[in-house]
Structure 1
Amino acid sequence: MTLNVLSLVTNDRSRFYKQQVRGLENEGISVTTLSLPTNPEISDDVSETRGVKDYLQFYRTALHEADGDYDLVHANYGLTAPPAVMQRTLPVVLSLWGTDLFGPYGQVSRLCARFADEVIVMSPEMQHALGRDCHVIPHGVDIDRFKPMDQVNARAELGWQGDAYHVLFPYPKQRAVKDYPRAARLISTVQARIDVPIELQTVNNVPHSEMPVYMNAADMLLMTSKREGSPNAVKEALSCNLPIVSTDVGDVRSNLDSVTHSSVGTDDIELAEAIEAVLRTVRDPPTQTKSERSNGRTVAKQLSHGALTKELLSVYYSVVSTDRTAQTVEISR
């Protein structure tokens, strides 16, 4: 059965969204995307760069487009959900990504979830917070692209010095929710305990295709996010066997449960201790040419985008096969 899907998204440049669309199209699904425009030089989070007028215009366009020849509407991210649940004819799948549920606009996501036919969340934590039946389907990782490679060659390609620890912070410094100041503070704390230089490597405007090189060149990935759903950077690091230290957000703790040389911390003391322990374990002395890696790829294989695309398809087929009678959605009640 071929499906024609109207997909609403805040940012169609998002790599995991583009990956989702490619996976669906490879399965024969037709996807038409409506997206808010965004300025990636400011932020790739449109909720930080767009105002009420932008969303109202987007909502009008989406409502008009929903009258087209589609089988369902898939609202990706809570702020795209209002027009999806207001239209009266098509079944609605709502995917919540994390910041939309736990961030300042969480009430919008919670309200719209009441009227969606099916809701998808990224982690069991989100499912518990939402308090309704939903599907836990995180964004998948491309395990063919993100895979272990020679660390010495990766460092040489990036020009990273070999006599320092390299900690990867895989986001631009200005992404407030990722909390770069905390990451820098933690590295400063650990640096006072270790004689060898520690380089905190940030990533900005790097093509996604080049990220495996960064993952393999680093000794460790550091995530200090304030909130997440199911962060793809962690799953990509797992796929490259890169050790990870992270705040306790989204599904990170469950994904790292059986992973070596990786840890989750709840405060700065725990995080700093974990960073120091991981660095000393994976490459001590740090002048050795390669660091010891994790066993994260065994977990990442369970989170491949191919497997998770099939789970998303099962949700699609479920909503379109349900006998749907005409109904009026009253958002105001």
Structure 2
Amino acid sequence: MVRTLQLVTSRRPFFEQQVEVLERNGVSCTVVPVPGGTRERSLADYVRFYARVLEAASGPDFDLVHANYGLTAPAALAQPIRPVVLSLWGSDLLGRYGTVSEQCARFADAVVVMSEEMATDLDGDYTVVPHGIDTDRFAPEPQDEAREEVGWESGANHVLFPYDPSREEKNYPRAERVVDRARDAVDGRVELHAVSGVPHEQVPTYMNAADAMILPSEREGSPNAVKEALSCNLPVVATPVGDVPTLLDGADCSHVSDTDEGLADALAEVLTSTSPPNGRERAREFGLDRMGEDLLGVYDSVLDAEVAA
């Protein structure tokens, strides 16, 4: 059994699924989160975090440290005992703390990224292991039942924006512009819904209640929302960020564009199309088991190198 110390900033649903699938594959996972909950962490929080990491890693119970998200990497690397796997999620490499992530990646024993596009500025080797999704949970449901459950009007066209509008990198104002422009080409009402903060198990219902999902992000790694939408057979209209073009390749009724006009035309086409989407066929490649197998392969290579040294 591989015994891992999992470091994380926040225990988001996809991280919990990662832990679950690793343990299903015989990996022991002990999780140490950065203190501070959901508020913005202070330097004191990260000092306390390092003390916890050092104490845990110094014991005999772990084979390696897995730093999930770039801001956990300094504490992982500062403990001199266990080899370090660093997973970069996207915003940690592409956002304001990108320099920290880049520098730490140079010293990790293995680096995991969500997409090839993320690794453009990285020096050294890396492995692409996107976050997986639960294709059993994210599955097609009858639209009329889903709309009744979430309280959306049955006769309107509904467009889902699956993020908090205050997240600047997700670009909600652009979603509003695109939907406004698409309304001129669509019969009937077109409603835009920003959905965030709901329990993860309720997200599939919102996806099945929608006619399309819009993702006008300025940057992404490998967004789970796109994979989840595909798994629900929900068409996606998105900007070409991260691995989104690859995710949508071969998915009928889904489109990528980098202009407002192109996004609006694509959205109008989706909302007026009578062709059935086939996203679920594409989404079968993004299952949790494949992610678990790939991460276990990374762990094995790091531990084999440790033994050889």
Contact 1:239/1:301 (8 A) holds in 2: yes
> Which residue of 2 is the match for residue 21 of structure 1?
19
- Which of 142, 151, 157 does residue 149 from structure 2 map onto? 157
- Which of 32, 50, 53 does residue 41 from structure 2 map onto? 50
Instruction: Note if 1:236 corresponds to 2:228.
Output: yes
Contact 1:11/1:38 (8 A) holds in 2: no
In 2, Cα distance between equivalents of 1:245 and 1:155? 20
Q: Deviations over 1:203-222 (max 9, x none)?
A: 12211111111111110011
Q: Once superposed, which parts of structure 1, at least 4 consecutive aligned residues long, lie more than 6 Å away? A: none
- Which of 127, 143, 154 does residue 135 from structure 2 map onto? 143
Shift of the alpha carbon at 1:36?
2.0
In 2, Cα distance between equivalents of 1:305 and 1:36? 25
> Which residue of 2 is the match for residue 265 of structure 1?
257
Q: In the TM superposition, what are the counterparts of 1:142-291 in structure 2 within 5 Å?
A: 142-282=134-274
Shift of the alpha carbon at 1:123?
0.4
- Which of 272, 284, 287 does residue 304 from structure 1 map onto? 287
> Using a 3 Å threshold, how does the CA distance of structure 1 residues 37 and 219 change in structure 2: closer, same or farther?
farther
Q: In the TM superposition, what are the counterparts of 1:78-89 in structure 2 within 5 Å?
A: 78-89=70-81
What amino acid is aligned across from residue 8 of structure 1 in structure 2?
L
> Does the residue aligned with 1:201 lie in a helix, a strand or coil?
strand
Of the structure 1 ranges 69-78 and 313-322, higher mean CA displacement relative to structure 2 is found in: 313-322
> Using a 3 Å threshold, how does the CA distance of structure 1 residues 301 and 87 change in structure 2: closer, same or farther?
same
> Which residue of 1 is the match for residue 92 of structure 2?
100
Shift of the alpha carbon at 1:17?
0.2
Contact 1:165/1:196 (8 A) holds in 2: yes
> Which residue of 2 is the match for residue 6 of structure 1?
5
> Does the residue aligned with 1:6 lie in a helix, a strand or coil?
strand
What amino acid is aligned across from residue 292 of structure 2 in structure 1?
T
Instruction: Note if 1:64 corresponds to 2:55.
Output: yes
> Which residue of 2 is the match for residue 36 of structure 1?
34
> Which residue of 2 is the match for residue 289 of structure 1?
none
> Which residue of 2 is the match for residue 43 of structure 1?
none
In 1, Cα distance between equivalents of 2:123 and 2:190? 43
Q: State TM-score, norm by structure 1.
A: 0.88
Determine what percentage of the aligned residue pairs are the same residue. 50
Q: State TM-score, norm by structure 2.
A: 0.94
> Which residue of 1 is the match for residue 305 of structure 2?
322
> Using a 3 Å threshold, how does the CA distance of structure 1 residues 118 and 208 change in structure 2: closer, same or farther?
same
Shift of the alpha carbon at 1:74?
0.1
Contact 1:243/1:293 (8 A) holds in 2: no
Shift of the alpha carbon at 1:118?
0.7
Shift of the alpha carbon at 1:273?
1.7
Shift of the alpha carbon at 1:121?
0.4
Q: What are the ranges of 5 or more consecutive residues in structure 1 without an aligned counterpart?
A: 41-45, 283-291, 327-333
> Which residue of 2 is the match for residue 285 of structure 1?
none
Of the structure 1 ranges 296-305 and 154-163, higher mean CA displacement relative to structure 2 is found in: 154-163
Q: What are the ranges of 5 or more consecutive residues in structure 2 without an aligned counterpart?
A: none
> Does the residue aligned with 1:322 lie in a helix, a strand or coil?
helix
What amino acid is aligned across from residue 4 of structure 1 in structure 2?
R
In 1, Cα distance between equivalents of 2:148 and 2:84? 48
Contact 1:94/1:113 (8 A) holds in 2: yes
> Does the residue aligned with 1:323 lie in a helix, a strand or coil?
helix
